[in-house]
Structure 1
Amino acid sequence: VNIVLDLVFVIGFGWGVAGVAAATAIADVAALAFGLWLALPILRRLGGAFVRAKILEAEKIRRTVALNVDIFIRTICLVSAFAYFTAQGAAFGNVVLAANAVLLNFQTFMAHALDGFAHAAEALGGRAIGARDRQAFRDAVRAAMLWGLIMAIAFTLVYLLAGVAIVELLTGIHDVRAAAREYIVWSVVMPLVAVFPFVLDGVFLGATRGRTMRIAMIVSLVIYVVACLTFVPMWGNHGLWGALLIFMGARGVTLGVRYPALERSVGSP
């Protein structure tokens, strides 16, 4: 819907940026309507009733709000990391800034694919925790991680073999293409590191371990900023991309070290 409306509003009607915004808004509303259309029949089959006392139970509301606050802080840290990346890249001039923006699309493509396995780990892991089934939880995490790794390797191979062609599809500016080719190696390597925090994010979110996710992201952000301050003066934009790779690795490590305790807690009294 978004793509079709972009073509109609921007190219057909000549609305420019306003057309892109309108297409996005309409696509979001359409996605909501489609989701409700899919969900309502299932909810009717499940039955149930609106019980005000259960819905407005203070302790459950407190836990939900606490989880949302933790996830909000975690998300702010993540957004801040990429905003800092953009700000640092701007210091190298418009060409490098544009090249970085092009290469960040590689990360977006990868993220949409790996997020699928994170969502699967979130749903299946959460169900196993609810059933107090440690083996099912372990199997869900292993399956999500295995298929996530397979997908990450596939993205690395695609970027290795066709990365330059993808860059040329994303921009027609010669200088930006040349700069993107210089730094594309980081986009090739990134999926092999990013897969771990992506999948583990889903695991910990499904387990409602918001506090662990918040602390892990804050620690990773600090490591990332220190890496930027250390490597950017030494290696310029290569140092900036290296710091982003370290950030992804730090996210994986900080969550990974907490995973054994999470697994042991499944099924415990």
Structure 2
Amino acid sequence: MLHSRFCCQWGNTLSSTLLRFPLADHKKVFAIALPMILSNIAAPMLGLVDTAIIGHLPDAIYLSAVAIGAMVVSFIFLLAVFLRMATTGYIAQSFGANDRAAQRQHFNHGLLLAVLLGSAIGLGSPWIIDFAMWIVQPDTQLIPLASDYIGIRLWSAPAALITLITLGVLLGRQQSGRAMWLAIITNGVNVVMDVILILGLGMNVKGAAWASFSADYVTAAVGLYWCARALNWSPTSIHIKFNALRQYASVNGNIFIRSLVLQLCMATMTGYAARYGSTVVAVNAVLMQFLMLISLGLDGIAYAVEALTGAAKGQRNPHKVAYWCRLTLLWSCIFAIAYTLLFWLFGPAIIGLITDIPEVITTAAQYLPWIVLLPLIGHWSYWFDGVFIGLSLSKGMRNTMILAAAFGFLPLWWLGLPLQNHGLWMALSGFLLMRGVFQALWLRLRWRQII
């Protein structure tokens, strides 16, 4: 009786909290968030098909070579995600101001940077390959195959970076349905070309590379077409304003530093896990899948924050900025609580679905409490990233990330060395927590200046 009364009261409280905002505004948030959540789900599913095709070749060396090559290429392209973030913020603001000319200008600047940076990556591929092989130190027989894969893929960098720009435009204009389709097109074309080039023509590793190369250029072409129609843009309308370009490049540079610091912290965690044995490496690989599950929902909310707060800033409406912040934070908290309950109740079952190795399952269960707490600790940083991107606060993103690494990750990692893998998860948790703390403080101190 008491339990049912509590549940009823809690349900009424939650309902009244949700109803403080019009239902139409909740729908507006999910019109942006839901397609991106679906694309986050679709991409790994298609990626599994891609891996299965490579994995059915007669020799495991091909799968290993593609795995190494894809890791190197993904790391490079992931560092370039600053192009998408900066573009989303600027486009969202000019979209809110109903200034299509400004949107075209930001699109032009983004395309120029994407082509220049992508071409530099392609031209620098021989040196990138040598450096990557020196860092990774794969078996001798894998080096030529992985090098072939990387060499082909890096020449798709201009297309991959143009796609990031088009994603930024579509998300900034709140056209997340088309952004979702770009992710699906990339993976769909990749799978089809894998079947043709690997199974049909027997091209093995080079076939996998050319399949991804084709997917990148097809997706870039589709993205360019959609953006051109939305912005009434054509190549003849390209006009570069160098002062604005310098500011745009500065914003991208700040976000690049932010992304680099994040990747270095994650790489440190992965690298030190290898010192504690192969079982710990396998355990952390399993537990990282929980982070992927968290990102499915929280990334979707973050995309909505970017688009809606950016549009409100473009309308010069600080009250609406604050309104969208409150509404999206509500959903970020709901997702975080739901994830924590899910992992608390079904964490062991999820581990069992990912692996059936008894030693890994038993060891992973020891670290499950960190995973249960992670959504509550980490959702703030996802949400604040959306706010900072939407308001184009690139210096704040850079500085708070550096502070979180300096005062969160590094000291806890050092203090946690005797705890081995528990220390690594403590460092990651502290890093996510301090990111949220520093972002909140930075935003609070500068709120009146930035709106």
Superposed, 1:113-124 pairs within 5 Å as 113-124=297-308
What's the counterpart of residue 24 of structure 2? none
Gaps of 5+ in 2: 1-45, 71-189, 192-207
Give the Cα–Cα distance (whole angstroms) in 2 for the partners of residues 147 and 45 of structure 1. Answer: 29
**Structure 1 residue 260 displacement after superposition:** 2.4
Contact 1:137–1:263 (CA<8 Å) still a contact in 2?
Answer: no
Contact 1:134–1:266 (CA<8 Å) still a contact in 2?
Answer: no
Q: Secondary structure at the match of 2:416?
A: helix
**Structure 1 residue 152 displacement after superposition:** 1.2
**Structure 1 residue 228 displacement after superposition:** 1.0
Contact 1:132–1:266 (CA<8 Å) still a contact in 2?
Answer: no
- Alignment of 1:11 with 2:56, yes or no, is yes
Amino acid at match of 2:232: G
Sequence identity of aligned pairs in percent?
31
- Alignment of 1:40 with 2:225, yes or no, is yes
After superposition, the Cα gap between the structure-2 partners of 1:88 and 1:4, relative to the gap in structure 1 and judged at 3 Å, is closer
Contact 1:128–1:136 (CA<8 Å) still a contact in 2?
Answer: yes
What's the counterpart of residue 334 of structure 2? 150
Of 253, 261, 276 in structure 2, the residue corresponding to residue 92 of structure 1 is 276
Of 71, 83, 94 in structure 1, the residue corresponding to residue 255 of structure 2 is 71
What's the counterpart of residue 103 of structure 2? none
Contact 1:138–1:263 (CA<8 Å) still a contact in 2?
Answer: no
**Structure 1 residue 19 displacement after superposition:** 6.1
Give the Cα–Cα distance (whole angstroms) in 2 for the partners of residues 109 and 32 of structure 1. Answer: 29
What's the counterpart of residue 239 of structure 1? 423
**Structure 1 residue 108 displacement after superposition:** 1.7
Of 112, 115, 139 in structure 1, the residue corresponding to residue 296 of structure 2 is 112
What's the counterpart of residue 190 of structure 1? 374
Q: Secondary structure at the match of 2:392?
A: coil
Give the Cα–Cα distance (whole angstroms) in 1 for the partners of residues 294 and 443 of structure 2. Answer: 23
The structure with more radius of gyration: 2
Amino acid at match of 2:329: M
Amino acid at match of 1:135: H
**Structure 1 residue 95 displacement after superposition:** 1.2
What's the counterpart of residue 201 of structure 1? 385
**Structure 1 residue 246 displacement after superposition:** 0.6
After superposition, the Cα gap between the structure-2 partners of 1:174 and 1:19, relative to the gap in structure 1 and judged at 3 Å, is same
**Structure 1 residue 154 displacement after superposition:** 1.2
**TM-align CA RMSD:** 2.5
- 1:6-49 deviations in Å (ceiling 9; x for gaps): 33332377653456657586468547645753663564254256
Give the Cα–Cα distance (whole angstroms) in 2 for the partners of residues 84 and 230 of structure 1. Answer: 15
What's the counterpart of residue 141 of structure 1? 325
After superposition, the Cα gap between the structure-2 partners of 1:88 and 1:67, relative to the gap in structure 1 and judged at 3 Å, is same
Superposed, 1:216-255 pairs within 5 Å as 216-223=400-407, 224-233=409-418, 235-255=419-439
Give the Cα–Cα distance (whole angstroms) in 2 for the partners of residues 91 and 34 of structure 1. Answer: 40
What's the counterpart of residue 103 of structure 1? 287
After superposition, the Cα gap between the structure-2 partners of 1:242 and 1:212, relative to the gap in structure 1 and judged at 3 Å, is same
**Structure 1 residue 236 displacement after superposition:** 2.9
What's the counterpart of residue 242 of structure 2? 58
Q: TM-score, normalised by structure 2?
A: 0.54
Q: TM-score, normalised by structure 1?
A: 0.87
Amino acid at match of 1:170: I
Contact 1:10–1:17 (CA<8 Å) still a contact in 2?
Answer: no
Give the Cα–Cα distance (whole angstroms) in 2 for the partners of residues 130 and 171 of structure 1. Answer: 48
Give the Cα–Cα distance (whole angstroms) in 1 for the partners of residues 354 and 56 of structure 2. Answer: 17
Of 39, 47, 52 in structure 2, the residue corresponding to residue 2 of structure 1 is 47
Give the Cα–Cα distance (whole angstroms) in 2 for the partners of residues 204 and 115 of structure 1. Answer: 14
What's the counterpart of residue 173 of structure 1? 357
Q: Secondary structure at the match of 1:16?
A: helix
Amino acid at match of 2:447: E
Give the Cα–Cα distance (whole angstroms) in 2 for the partners of residues 253 and 205 of structure 1. Answer: 17
What's the counterpart of residue 447 of structure 2? 263
Number of aligned residues = 264
Give the Cα–Cα distance (whole angstroms) in 2 for the partners of residues 137 and 32 of structure 1. Answer: 36
- 1:32-91 deviations in Å (ceiling 9; x for gaps): 645753663564254256444xx3211111111111111111111001111111122222
Contact 1:163–1:184 (CA<8 Å) still a contact in 2?
Answer: yes
Contact 1:134–1:263 (CA<8 Å) still a contact in 2?
Answer: no
Q: Secondary structure at the match of 1:208?
A: coil
Contact 1:129–1:266 (CA<8 Å) still a contact in 2?
Answer: no
After superposition, the Cα gap between the structure-2 partners of 1:256 and 1:28, relative to the gap in structure 1 and judged at 3 Å, is farther
